[in-house]
Amino acid sequence: MRRLQARRRVRAAPSAPDIHVREAATRFVRVLARWGCTPQHIGQEVLRACDLVPRSWAQTTQAAVSEMSAAAHVLTLWFQDPAYLDSRGNPQPLKLWGQGRSLEALARRVDPKLDVKKVLAFLVRRSVLRRLGSRYLPRDRVLMFRGSGPPYHARSLRTLVSMLRTLEHNSRPQHSTPGWYEVYAVNARVPVSAIPAFDRWLRRHGNRLLEQADGKLHGYERKRRKGQRTVRIGAGIYRIGEEHEPLPRNRPAQRRIRRRK
């Protein structure tokens, strides 16, 4: 009965899962199976997890991943293309629309088939840009989607698929398949009080490394020959951790007032 209820819930979904949802589920099941889980146990745990999912989550509007990626690539071009940089190598202020140097022109360079208004909306709504009169400047090179709802969930799905692809790729025989870089550093005896400092350190150095990787990838993109085959490739950094209760704030000690008898 429980299995039939889960199947009815899937059939009642407003639309069929896209290719990334199917790939994420397939690869996740294979990772568990290689660890030693049987298909029956995997199915039981998946059904148990599905029973805990609120119905409201299935009503979430699905964001267009292609437009999100295009918005991020607009920032790459803005920070890398010499035509859009000043004499100090910083991005020049740009107008939103029009011929010549503009955000519209950058978005069309990324992909002329996409809706430019939707691409630019990701930059404007996420407070990535600051306005200078009729022109705009980027506040940061990183386009953050946390707290954006559907766009964040769409990005999470792509991130999950990318991580599962790397894990599956590296599970193949080493003598026949060159490995993809997959390394992490973990320590189980770090004081909870040190977490904020580590988070600041990781964000600072992680952003610096990813900016360098972004520049390197854009360099390959610029040097590609016409008609040359291309692939989607990159690198990601994430913090490993466990949920913990926040430390209580230190309250100032209250002075005791002695009462005279």
The per-residue pLDDT for range 67-87, each reduced to its tens digit, is 778 888 889 999 999 989 999
User: Percent of the chain scored above 90 by pLDDT?
Assistant: 47
Helix, strand, or coil here: 91?
strand
Tokens, residue 173 = 């025989």
* Single-letter residue type at 167: L
> For residue 219, what pLDDT is reported?
92
Cα torsion for 70, 71, 74, 76, to the nearest 10°?
A: -90
Task: State the DSSP string of 84-126.
Answer: GB-TTSPBPPBBSSSSSSBHHHHHHHH-TTS-HHHHHHHHHHT
pLDDT in the model for residue 33: 95
